[in-house]
């Protein structure tokens, strides 16, 4: 599918055509990655961040936020829950936090790999190659780093570099691949200044990067950020602004599945925030094959406020576990077993039951 076709689908409004898009995405998901939905246990272990991202509530200047950093023992308690509930992976996510040292995170990864069968995914922002190598050597399997938008001018405006070091997330994704990580990336949908052409280029880039994981979700406004101020907001040219809505999110999930049929694609919490009733289920029926139940203890979870009123922000880890399983079963799918690595081989053979 070329960028022009992706663009046309993003602008599609005809319900019958959209039903066709959902069916194509669902059939492709079934053919390439099967009916299992993999559970990745998310541990948001630090909300400290040195960056100035114009969209995110964790940005350094947000003094209204109480900051926390979990201890290794607290994190290991969450990890053990993941094992007990049969999750195949834990995702260690944080702000860009220099207090999370190379050695500290390497020793945590080593502990998880020594004591559990879990795959370990890191999502801790832009770090040096030395850090990334050390964590890979310690056993980290995957790394998530969204490139946020392929529009360079918009990226630089919304994601300013740190003094003295350029921010080139695309180059970092290439290095992660060379180091042997499974690589995940993605974008926010409907961030101010994002045009339909930009979003079509983002999706075409997913294919070019040959991503193992693709995380997409709607942009949600946080008032204590520069984008909370209307006078700061970039404007897409020619009234071509993408809406940050549910329908566009489903279109992006479906198109991501079509351009990267073997990728692991979550139905995200940001989507569930727009539709708490059945947003996650509709994501699963329109191309997604992953859910990310939250393992973060509730007293920290409320402080990981990248945007307000996040879905499930008051839920316990146990509540998330039961809820996700029930949602998976409600759409006739099964809970994935094992780490659920990216399917790089042949399409999955349909079983008799499917
Ligand atoms: N600090 C790491 C990083 O930036 O890659 C990982 C944590 S960061 C909170 C994870 C993702 O949250 C970002 O890549 C961004 O796409 C998303 N995000 C941040 N602010 C958001 C907002 N206001 N609405 C929706 N998604 C947001
Ligand atoms: Fe920090 Fe990541 Fe938020 Fe940017 S998106 S402010 S790097 S936590």
Write the secondary structure of 4-19 as one string of H (helix), E (strand) and C (coil): HHHHHHHCCCCHHHHH
Cβ contacts of 117-120, under 8 Å, gap ≥ 24: 117/83, 117/339, 118/79, 118/82, 118/83, 118/87, 118/88, 118/89, 118/90, 118/339, 119/88, 119/89, 119/90, 119/339, 119/340, 119/341, 120/89, 120/90, 120/92
d(CA 298, CA 303): 9
Q: How do residues 35-91 score in pLDDT, each as one tens digit?
A: 999 999 999 999 999 999 999 999 999 999 999 999 999 999 999 999 999 999 999
Residue 239: pLDDT band (50, 70, 90) is confident
Measured from the CA of 52, which atom of ligand 2 is nearest? Answer: 6
- Closest-CA residue, ligand 2 atom 6, reads 59
pLDDT at 173 over 90: yes
CB 171 within 8 A of CB 132: no
**pTM for this entry:** 0.95
CA distances from 22 to 34, 212, 283 (A): 16, 21, 10
CA gap 106, 108 in Å, rounded: 5
Dihedral-angle region of residue 233 (phi above 0 means left; psi in -120 to 50 means alpha; beta otherwise):
beta
Between CA 269 and CA 51 the distance in angstroms is 22
Nearest atom (ligand 2) to Cα of 50? 1
Atom of ligand 2 nearest to the CA of 56: 3
For 95-150, how does the pLDDT look when each residue is reduced to its tens digit (9 = 90+)?
999 999 999 999 999 999 999 999 999 999 999 999 999 999 999 999 999 999 99
Predicted local confidence at residue 110, as pLDDT: 98
Helices 246-259 and 196-209 sit at what angle, rounded to 10 degrees? 30
Question: Percent of the chain at pLDDT above 70?
Answer: 97
Ligand 1 touching residue 304 (CB < 6 A): no
Pocket residue to mutate for ligand 1, from 55, 56, 145, 190, most atoms within 8 A of Cβ: 56
Ligand 2 neighbourhood includes 59 CB (under 6 angstroms): yes
Determine the residue of 65, 91, 92, 95 to mutate for testing ligand 2's pocket, defined as the one with the most ligand atoms within 8 A of the Cβ atom: 95
Our mutation pick for probing the ligand 2 site, out of 68, 146, 219, 306, counting the most ligand atoms within 8 A of Cβ, is 306
User: Per-residue pLDDT for 166 more than 90?
Assistant: no
Confidence band of 343 (pLDDT split at 50, 70, 90): low
Given this model, what pLDDT does residue 205 score?
Answer: 97
**Which ligand is nearest to the Cα of residue 188, counting in written order?**
1
């Amino acid at each position: 599918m070329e960028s022009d076709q992706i663009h046309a689908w993003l602008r599609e409004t005809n319900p019958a055509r959209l039903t066709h898009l959902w069916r194509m995405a669902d059939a492709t998901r079934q053919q390439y990655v099967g009916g299992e939905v993999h559970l990745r246990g998310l541990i948001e272990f630090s909300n400290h961040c040195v960056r100035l991202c114009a969209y995110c509530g964790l940005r350094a200047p947000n003094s209204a936020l109480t900051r926390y950093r979990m201890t290794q023992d607290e994190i290991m308690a969450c990890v053990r829950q993941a094992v007990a509930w049969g999750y195949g992976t834990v995702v260690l996510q944080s702000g860009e936090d220099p207090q999370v040292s190379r050695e500290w995170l390497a020793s945590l990864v080593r502990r998880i790999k020594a004591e559990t069968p879990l795959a370990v995914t890191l999502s801790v922002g832009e770090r040096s190659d030395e850090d990334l190598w050390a964590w890979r050597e310690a056993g980290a399997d995957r790394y998530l780093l969204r490139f946020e938008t392929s529009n360079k001018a918009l990226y630089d405006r919304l994601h300013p570099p740190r003094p003295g070091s350029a921010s080139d997330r695309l180059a970092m994704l290439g290095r992660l691949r060379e180091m042997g990580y499974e690589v995940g990336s993605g974008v926010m949908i409907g961030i101010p200044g994002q045009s339909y052409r930009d979003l079509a280029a983002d999706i075409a880039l997913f294919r070019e990067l040959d991503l193992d994981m693709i995380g997409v979700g709607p942009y949600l406004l946080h008032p204590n950020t520069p984008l909370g101020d209307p006078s700061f907001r970039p404007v897409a040219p020619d009234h071509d602004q993408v809406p940050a809505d549910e329908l566009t999110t489903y279109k992006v999930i479906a198109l991501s599945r079509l351009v990267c049929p073997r990728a692991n694609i979550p139905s995200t919490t940001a989507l569930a925030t727009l539709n708490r009733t059945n947003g996650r289920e509709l994501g699963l029926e329109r191309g997604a094959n992953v859910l990310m139940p939250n393992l973060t203890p509730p007293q920290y979870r409320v402080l990981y406020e990248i945007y307000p009123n996040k879905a499930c922000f008051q839920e316990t880890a146990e509540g998330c576990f039961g809820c996700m399983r029930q949602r998976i079963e409600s759409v006739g799918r099964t809970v994935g077993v094992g780490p659920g690595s990216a399917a790089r081989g042949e399409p999955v053979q349909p079983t008799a039951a499917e």
